[in-house]
């Protein structure tokens, strides 16, 4: 939040870039995890693994489902 405060009274830069608070927080968390030393790093990085399937529905019909499978870093 100090970075946001440093950018002045306007909306923080990540908000202006279209990020939500959670994605900003996760980006920060990923950066911190990458700073860890080795035995702890791989341990912490497993918490970043993501897998889920999402599909939007319109008028009662599901659109094609998308698999999100990433390790955001």
Partner 1 sequence: MASGSARKAGMRLSSLLSGSLASGIKSQTAAASPWSSSTGAAGELGPFGSRFASSQAVRNRMKSVKSIQKITKAMKMVAASKLRGVVSKTEKSRGLWQPFIALLGDHPGVDAKKVSILTVSTDRGLCGGINSTAVKYSKALLKLSSGPDKEVSYIIVGDKARAILQRDSKQSIALTVTETQKISISFTQASMIVDEIVKDLDFDVVRVMYNKFNSVVQFLPTVTTILSPETLIRESESGKLGDLDAYEVEGAEMKSEVLQNLSEFQFASVLYNAFLENACSEQGARMSAMDSSTRNATEMLDKLTLSYNRSRQATITTELIEIISGAAALEASN
Asked if 3 is part of the footprint of partner 1 (rule: CB under 8 A), the reply reads no
When asked if residue 35 is in the footprint of partner 1 (CB under 8 A), the reply is no
Helix, strand or coil, per DSSP, at residue 69: strand
The total number of residues written for the chain in this structure: 73
d(CA 9, CA 70): 34
Nearest to 72, CA basis, from 31, 21, 41: 31
13 near partner 1 (CB under 8 A): no
- Binders of partner 1 among 50-69, rule CB under 8 A? 50-57, 59-62, 65, 67-68
Residue 42 interacts with partner 1 (CB under 8 A): yes or no? no
Q: Does 36 bind partner 1 (CB under 8 A)?
A: no
């Amino acid at each position: 939040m100090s970075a946001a405060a440093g950018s002045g009274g306007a909306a923080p830069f990540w908000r202006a870039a279209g990020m939500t608070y959670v994605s900003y927080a996760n980006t920060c968390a990923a950066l911190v995890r990458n700073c860890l030393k080795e035995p702890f790093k791989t341990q912490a990085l497993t918490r970043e693994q993501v897998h889920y399937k999402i599909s939007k529905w319109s008028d009662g019909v599901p659109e094609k489902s998308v698999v999100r499978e990433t390790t955001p870093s």
